[in-house]
Amino acid sequence: MNGFINPQQILKQLKLRKDMTAVDFGCGSGSWVLPLAEKLEDGKVIAIDILEEPLSALQGKAKIQHLDNIERVLADIEKSSKLEDGIADLVLMTDLLFEVDDVKKVLEEGKRVLKKGGRILVVDWRKDVALGPEQGRVLPSEIKKIAKDLGLKLTEEFEAGTYHFALVFEK
């Protein structure tokens, strides 16, 4: 997969069911939420961000695209997503882990909200590329070790464009 991240292409690889519940940690203005909401037409996407502004922008985009299966939540996922235990089939952590102070805490929160057999998709910046953030990049090996220590099983690993890697873990 060349170039920048293509959410549609990556989501295709996940073999999603239309009735799933997905949660996007650090959703921003919805570059993953919107294509996910289209795929999960009988399901729900819970979009979480620490800032109100991107959530508001997401609401406007969802309205334009006639997507009514998106729930927006204002929360700091390093503290709590404000969600119940075991409600999600999928948790997205895309371009997120390089920004957080405590990767373990975020993965723990993702695991907590997952159903048994649910998956976490991590997509983040590779350390060996010049483009992207200068600080905070996390090696896939570090994420895999933390996830393993939390009892999460690595099920897939692939390139997510030229500048990113992708990891899929199962609870």
Question: Per residue in 59-102, pLDDT tens?
Answer: 999 999 999 999 999 999 999 999 999 999 999 999 999 999 99
Q: Of 81, 83, 28, which is closest to residue 57 (Cα–Cα)? A: 28
Q: Does a structural domain hold residue 77?
A: yes
The pTM of this model reads 0.95
Is the pLDDT confidence value at 25 over 90?
Answer: yes
User: What is the sign, positive or negative, of the torsion defined by CA atoms of 70, 119, 125, 39?
Assistant: negative
Average pLDDT, the chain: 95
Higher-confidence residue: 73 or 162?
A: 73
CA distance 1 to 168: 17
Determine, yes or no, domain membership for 18. Answer: no
pLDDT band for position 131 (cuts 50, 70, 90): confident
Residue 157 lies in a domain: yes
* Gap between the Cα atoms of 36 and 43, Å rounded: 10
Residue whose structure tokens are 């998106």 = 70
Q: Is position 17 within any domain? A: no
* Average pLDDT of the residues in 146-156: 98
The parent domain of residue 165 ranges over: 7-12+25-170
For residue 2, pLDDT beyond 70? no
Q: Is 50 exposed, middle or buried (0-12, 13-18, 19+ CB in 10 A)?
A: middle
Establish if 19 belongs to a structural domain: no
Kindly state whether residue 69 falls inside one of the protein's structural domains: yes
CATH at residue 65: 3.40.50.150
Q: Which pLDDT belongs to residue 135?
A: 87
Average pLDDT value for residue range 100-124 = 97
Q: What is the CA radius of gyration of the chain?
A: 15
Question: What pLDDT sits at residue 161?
Answer: 87
Q: What are phi and psi of 49, to 5 degrees?
A: -145, 155
Specify the residue for token string 């920048």.
Answer: 4
* CB atoms near residue 39 (< 10 Å): 17
- Structural domain total, the chain: 1
**pLDDT > 70 fraction of the chain, expressed in percent and rounded:** 98
Quickly state the pLDDT bin for 130 (edges 50, 70, 90).
confident
